[in-house]
Structure 1
Amino acid sequence: MRWHSLLPVALGVVLAGCAGGESRPLPRTGTTSRIQENGFGASGRSVRTLVYVLRHDMAEATEDDDRFARELAAAAPGTRVITLTQPIRGGSDPATAASRGFTRDRITHFADRIEAGRTRYPDVPTVLVGDGGGAAIAADLAGLRPKLIDGMVLAACPCMLPEWRKHMEKRMPGTSFQAAADSLDPLMTVGGIRPQTKAALLVGADDPITPPKFSRGYAEALALRGIATDYRVLPGRGNAILNDPEVLSATTRMLAALQADR
């Protein structure tokens, strides 16, 4: 295990080593396809924590995509886990996803769904789990709509978007990852995150798509905000880490901590 210490300012950043689904699509809007929503775990008055899983931009929801949600619902009784997927039309092209995936309009679509959940369950902690592009959206959302969430777990995050785009252009010569005019970089929105928000970032040491430096830079920015941040590099792991046990463990720890704070 590779551990990292982030100690800017006065903050010591903390480092840390099933029910059936229900589908509910929303109307197609803008440059994106419908949001696919699947629910797992607790419901009604038994809900004590609420988790939204924001998934990769480029794939329709599949049973395997729901594995993390099912396992989290089983590991954290009393948790309602909702997966949100909104594929980008033309998103099989990673450059298209990179340009359209992080716009204010798209982030608002996700935020509105999460606000609806908070209205239904007003007195329970809410956590976002983001994977890849979903992690960058979760980070932006935490800055733009800070009252909606109490914590976020970001897996394989391209959390420094301009630098990540340059990285991808080097990996894919001749491909332009030009940003949309209203694209939002998590480092632009980090100032809006509430200091009491809890954060965890996990990234594979051998991730060729979103190398650790893009998570570390964002973790440092969170720390400078006074936000308790759990940053972990997973040895031998690549880009696909959502279903890694370490991500599940980081999420259950956060849920337990939020419950203890209540």
Structure 2
Amino acid sequence: MPLPLSLFHLAAIFFLGLANMAQAQSPGPLNGQIFGAGNRALVVVVHGDVSKGGPATYHYDLAKQIAEQSKDVSVFALVRPGYTGKKGQNSPGSNTGRRDHYTKENNALVAKTIQNLAKSIGASKVIGIGHSGGAAQLGAIAGIYPGLLDSVILVSCPCNIPEWRAKRGKSAWTNSLSPHDHIAAMARGTRIFAVVGDKDTNTYPELSEAFVLAAKARGLPAAYVPVKGASHGFDQLQRTVEQLALKEIAK
């Protein structure tokens, strides 16, 4: 009898450990899911506002695809403050009803998570990919935490927050930090890509183009990447983003 009981407990401990690994794959403070393993590069994928509601999980697929095509790379699908990810991968903090939440405090949580991941993995370079609100956060973080991101791929970025809100006829977001205001502080070697659908009527191609022009004027290596026929949805942009990420990993 003692032997079966011992095996039972060992099995229980093993499966509990697997469950905990699936639920907590980040050194914190924010949660998410890691795909792949290795320190050649850390790629962090950050979702948008998901303003229609529901969990923020659509970016997991891109993270998985990049990891499957890259050797010795860790790819983290980050769940932003106050958002629900997959089971056990919810992040602390508040998104204030998914409004005006690209704040100093929330950006600090994202940046700290990236810093902790890079340190724990021992990554030789860090690539950030953000869509919509996630792009707004990474764009500001690249300037507020210069050198944290070696490359940043901003997808459908509302890079000038006041202009974006005004163009949409919406009320101002006074607590959100605008990437456009932090270009001057970005590390000189930061590689910037602004990907946007040429039919995007949410975050507008001209906002991404203006951001890239301002970055180039400062001498930063930046590229504007319009995607013909695409709108704001990430599914129409994912393939272009994936190809850019793989090229940055290979450098």
Verify same fold: TM over 0.5.
Answer: yes
Higher Rg = 2
Higher RCO, Cα 8 Å, sep 6+: 1
SS at match of 2:231: coil
Q: Aligned AA for 2:150? A: D
2-structure distance, mates of 1:83, 1:226: 30
Q: CA RMSD in A?
A: 2.0
* Counterpart among 62, 65, 69 of residue 63 in structure 2: 69
Q: How many residues align?
A: 212
Are 1:48 and 2:55 counterparts? no
SS at match of 1:194: coil
Q: Which runs of 5+ in 1 are unaligned?
A: 1-20, 27-33, 92-96, 170-175, 258-262
Q: Aligned AA for 1:73? A: A
Q: Which runs of 5+ in 2 are unaligned?
A: 1-20, 84-94
Cα offset, 1:123, TM superposition: 4.7
SS at match of 1:146: coil
SS at match of 1:183: coil
Q: Deviations over 1:189-230 (max 9, x none)?
A: 111111111111110011110110010010111111211112
Q: Deviations over 1:56-110 (max 9, x none)?
A: 1235233x4311001111122211001112232422xxxxx2x2x2111110010
Residue 247 (structure 1) aligns with: 241
Residue 33 (structure 2) aligns with: 38
Residue 84 (structure 1) aligns with: 78
Verify the 8 A CA contact 1:22 1:37 in the aligned structure 2: no
Q: Aligned AA for 1:213? A: E
Q: TM-score of the superposition, structure 2-length normalised?
A: 0.79
Q: Deviations over 1:94-132 (max 9, x none)?
A: xxx2x2x21111100101101101221335100100000
1-structure distance, mates of 2:116, 2:243: 27
Runs (4+) off by over 3 Å: none
SS at match of 1:108: helix
Q: Aligned AA for 1:40? A: F
Verify the 8 A CA contact 2:45 2:59 in the aligned structure 1: no
Residue 166 (structure 1) aligns with: 166
CA spacing shift, 1:164–1:107, aligned 2, 3 Å: same
Verify the 8 A CA contact 2:128 2:152 in the aligned structure 1: yes
Residue 210 (structure 1) aligns with: 203
Residue 135 (structure 1) aligns with: 135
Taking only the aligned residue pairs, the percentage that are identical comes to: 25
